[in-house]
């Protein structure tokens, strides 16, 4: 199966490169640094203490507290961070700068993997969430390098898919020194696939840092909008959700004419598309890239990267996107940690445990369809006491579940070479 998998990878590599070229029409970064994807990175010299892989922005943000601790332990320049997407790369550069070495991760081709490992020479490897790469994992194990699958999650839907190739997946998981699962349910699913070494660490997304410079920026944005105005945020939205958010905001304006919305699309290549939608709405709007918000701004378009906490800090409640469309949701713990009531749609399979926790604690409301967003906004803005209870419940829930980062660092120490 591994041989067949590798052969198929070689056959589709030209198509993968064409896809990068296609995506670069909207995001030119996709056609840059392509050599890194084939393991052609600048050699590390003295070697790297830990290699941390995080696919894109969400995984990178979740991994930042871990990476910061690893820098403190091993020193600057001794941690290598890889991502798969340009947005993830930009987040690494903005948050960590020259304190880490950074590149794109190699494709799971034997040659690319070998070149990368020979040049980086990590002593430990941490793969965030559930990235299973057979050739990479086998090459890491063959070199005797401890490999930890960290903050690992496995949805019931993913389990059904992997179960079709259970023997192959079991072999991949056997190459891991340990699978550090987010929850007991995730751990049981990994065990059912044949993972021999599984522990429950919790979710390090609860251990997120709240960056004071961004919180200060958020307070400034809120002051510019007007401290007494109702302000909500539609965060990490995807195609179809911006239109739903604008429709919901129109409903809210009927009840509260002074209300303002902060709209933040998930991907930068969609900023232009979102701007066209907002411009056609007839509402008074401004772009973050061109101006600060004003007291009469009805829609503030957050077309910037790395400022999500600032946008959250400027709002009274949050709708988190990727959930009204079948993407699987995004990190609802970030607004909860800031004491915001949280709204999301029915598609939350990427954040099952966080969803269940916030709903159970009364900190969030799930909307079953787009037309329910405006209804919930009006209800919550009409009930300040309920908003306050929800916000405090979410903040307390995040605080009570911290500690996964400490346990993860202890696990890395146990597996240190």
Give the residue numbers annotated as catalytic, written as ranges. 59
230: how many CB neighbours lie within 10 A of its CB? 23
| Helices (H), ranges, 164-307 | 166-174, 184-192, 212-225, 241-255, 271-280
Angle ∠(303,307,311) on CA atoms, nearest 5 = 85
Q: What is the helix (H) or strand (E) element at residue 134, kind and residue range? A: helix 134-142
Query: What span, in angstroms and rounded, lies between the C-alpha atoms of 185 and 163?
Result: 16
Q: What are phi and psi of 80, to 5 degrees?
A: -105, 130
Query: What span, in angstroms and rounded, lies between the C-alpha atoms of 182 and 200?
Result: 6
| Cα–Cα separations (whole angstroms), residue 151 to 54, 306, 387 | 11, 22, 30
Of 241, 233, 236, 235, nearest to 324 by C-alpha is: 241
Angle ∠(311,62,65) on CA atoms, nearest 5 = 100
User: What tokens does 126 get?
Assistant: 């941490």
Under 8 Å between Cβ of 83 and 60: yes
Q: What secondary structure letter does DSSP report for 194?
A: T
Taking the CA of residue 80 as centre, how many other CA atoms within 13 Å lie in the half-sphere pointing to its CB? Answer: 26
Query: What span, in angstroms and rounded, lies between the C-alpha atoms of 331 and 333?
Result: 5
Angle ∠(134,138,142) on CA atoms, nearest 5 = 175
Under 8 Å between Cβ of 303 and 265: yes
Query: What span, in angstroms and rounded, lies between the C-alpha atoms of 233 and 260?
Result: 9
Under 8 Å between Cβ of 114 and 139: yes
Q: Is 144 helix (H, G, I), strand (E, B) or coil?
A: coil
């Amino acid at each position: 199966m591994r041989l067949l998998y590798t052969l198929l990878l070689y056959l589709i590599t030209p198509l993968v490169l064409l896809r990068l070229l296609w995506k670069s029409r909207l995001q030119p970064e996709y056609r840059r640094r392509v050599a890194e994807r084939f393991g052609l990175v600048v050699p590390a010299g003295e070697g790297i203490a830990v290699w941390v892989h995080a696919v894109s922005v969400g995984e990178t943000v979740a991994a930042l507290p871990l990476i910061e601790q690893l820098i403190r332990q091993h020193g600057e320049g001794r941690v290598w961070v890889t991502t798969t997407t340009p947005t993830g790369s930009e987040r690494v550069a903005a948050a960590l700068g020259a304190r880490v070495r950074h590149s794109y991760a190699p494709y799971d081709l034997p040659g690319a993997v070998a070149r990368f490992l020979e040049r980086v020479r990590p002593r430990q490897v941490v793969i965030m969430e559930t990235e299973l790469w057979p050739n990479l994992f086998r090459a890491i194990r063959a070199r005797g390098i401890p490999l930890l699958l960290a903050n690992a999650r496995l949805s019931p839907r993913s389990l059904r898919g992997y179960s079709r190739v259970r023997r192959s997946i079991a072999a991949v998981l056997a190459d891991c020194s340990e699978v550090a699962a987010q929850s007991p349910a995730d751990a049981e699913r990994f065990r059912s696939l044949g993972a021999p070494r599984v522990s429950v660490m919790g979710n390090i997304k609860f251990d997120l840092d709240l960056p004071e410079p961004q919180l200060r920026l958020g307070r400034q944005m809120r002051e510019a909008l007007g401290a007494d105005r109702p302000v909500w945020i539609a965060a990490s939205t995807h195609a179809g959700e911006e239109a739903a958010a604008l429709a919901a905001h129109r409903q809210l304006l009927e009840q509260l004419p002074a209300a303002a919305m902060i709209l933040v699309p998930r991907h930068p290549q969609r900023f232009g598309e979102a701007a066209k939608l907002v411009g056609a709405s007839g509402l008074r709007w401004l772009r973050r890239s061109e101006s600060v918000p004003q007291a009469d701004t009805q829609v503030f378009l957050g077309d910037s990267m790395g400022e999500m906490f600032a946008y959250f800090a400027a709002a009274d409640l949050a709708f988190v996107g990727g959930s009204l469309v079948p993407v699987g949701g995004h990190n609802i713990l970030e607004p909860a940690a800031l004491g915001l009531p949280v709204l999301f749609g029915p598609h939350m399979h990427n954040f099952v445990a966080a969803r269940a926790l916030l709903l159970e604690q009364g900190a969030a409301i799930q909307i079953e369809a787009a037309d329910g967003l405006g209804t919930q906004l009006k209800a919550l803005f009409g009930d300040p006491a309920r908003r306050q209870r929800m916000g405090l419940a979410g903040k307390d829930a995040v605080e009570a579940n911290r500690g996964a980062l400490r346990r993860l660092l202890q696990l890395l120490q146990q597996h240190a070479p």
